Amino acid sequence: MNKQFEAMIRRMYGSRYSLDRGMEGNYAREIVRRMFEVWRAAKGIK
């Protein structure tokens, strides 16, 4: 699931946004976390 999201972000934005993860496994940057939440909602993934 995250691999598809990360591939889409790299394809659309290149290296503009860091896809690094924090200690809990969430994305480190707030903007990437929000994009991931929107992507999951659009795909219907809980």
% pLDDT > 70, the chain: 98
Q: Is 43 helix (H, G, I), strand (E, B) or coil?
A: helix
The whole-number pLDDT of residue 46 equals: 76
Domain of residue 9 covers 2-43
Q: The whole model's pTM is what? A: 0.85
Total count of domains within the chain: 1
Q: Exposed, middle or buried: residue 22 (CB in 10 Å: 0-12, 13-18, 19+)?
A: exposed
pLDDT at site 42:
95
pLDDT tens, residue by residue, 1-46: 699 999 999 999 999 999 999 999 999 999 999 999 999 999 998 7
